[in-house]
């Protein structure tokens, strides 16, 4: 681990964080309908891209294919898959449709920013391994907890609720064995906890 791996992760996560930057403008300002439509569009693009990568259809899907070539890890390139993006946009679309705006925005921001912080800081700092999952570091989990808490506060939750949501997402991210799986496990954990916080008005 070190600067080289951290910079490689920054390159990947620069795209990964884009949904987080647009969560509030689209969900709060343009409205749930517009946000859901845009999210569903990206879900469709990445689903079609996955079919293309698997040889089911023969077309290079705009945006999705270029994102794949820019972001894909070696094993994704070797196996011709980018299914994690399909998972993420599927969960994001459902969250926007089904949950209060604060909850869906928080879930998307936690998944975008918190997960990115965990990956980048984990590779940059290294250090003690997380006892929950020896493939993760405590530094990465601490970074995710901090960034996720701040993200939830920006989304509109108070400090206590933000910490609870962030802690749930961080624990799920730490426990997730495959990096592919946190594309859906993290936003689902954040969404459920955020929705509960909204319902209880924490």
Mean pLDDT computed over 54-82: 95
CA distance 17 to 81: 20
Which residues touch 161 (CB under 8 Å, ≥6 apart)? Answer: 152, 197, 202
CA distance 50 to 96: 23
Which of 6 and 171 is assigned the larger pLDDT?
171
pLDDT at residue 25, as a whole number:
98
CA distance 135 to 128: 10
> 1-5, 25-29, 58-62, 79-83: which has the minimum mean pLDDT?
1-5
Is the pLDDT at 36 greater than 80? The verdict is yes
Per the structure, how many domains does the chain have?
1
104: buried, middle or exposed (CB in 10 Å: 19+, 13-18, 0-12)? buried
Give the three-class secondary structure for 193.
Answer: helix
Q: What is the pLDDT of residues 89-131, one digit of tens each?
A: 999 999 999 999 999 999 999 999 999 999 899 888 888 888 8
What range defines the domain where residue 165 resides?
3-200
Cβ atoms within 10 A of the Cβ of 58, count? 7
| 139: phi then psi, degrees, rounded to nearest 5 | -65, -45
Is the pLDDT at 32 greater than 90? The verdict is yes
Give the three-class secondary structure for 58.
Answer: coil
Structure tokens belonging to residue 119:
């990956």
Taking the CA atoms of the chain, what radius of gyration do you get in angstroms? 16
Confidence of residue 170 (pLDDT cuts 50, 70, 90): very high
């Amino acid at each position: 681990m070190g600067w080289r791996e951290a910079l490689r992760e920054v390159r990947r996560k620069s795209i990964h964080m884009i949904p987080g930057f647009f969560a509030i403008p689209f969900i709060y300002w343009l409205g749930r309908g517009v946000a859901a439509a845009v999210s569903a569009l990206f879900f469709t693009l990445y689903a079609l891209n996955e079919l293309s990568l698997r040889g089911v259809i023969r077309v290079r899907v705009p945006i999705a294919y270029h994102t794949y070539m820019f972001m894909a890890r070696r094993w994704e390139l070797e196996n011709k898959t980018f299914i994690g993006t399909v998972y993420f946009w599927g969960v994001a679309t459902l969250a926007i449709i089904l949950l209060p705006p604060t909850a869906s925005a928080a879930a998307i921001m936690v998944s975008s920013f918190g997960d990115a912080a965990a990956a980048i800081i984990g590779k940059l700092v290294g250090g003690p391994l997380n006892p929950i999952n020896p493939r993760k570091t405590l530094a990465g989990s601490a970074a995710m907890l901090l960034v996720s808490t701040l993200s939830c506060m920006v989304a509109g939750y108070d400090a206590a609720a933000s910490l609870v949501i962030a802690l749930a997402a961080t624990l799920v991210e730490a426990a997730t064995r495959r990096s592919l799986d946190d594309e859906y496990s993290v936003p689902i954990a954040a969404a459920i906890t955020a929705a509960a916080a909204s319902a209880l008005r924490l």
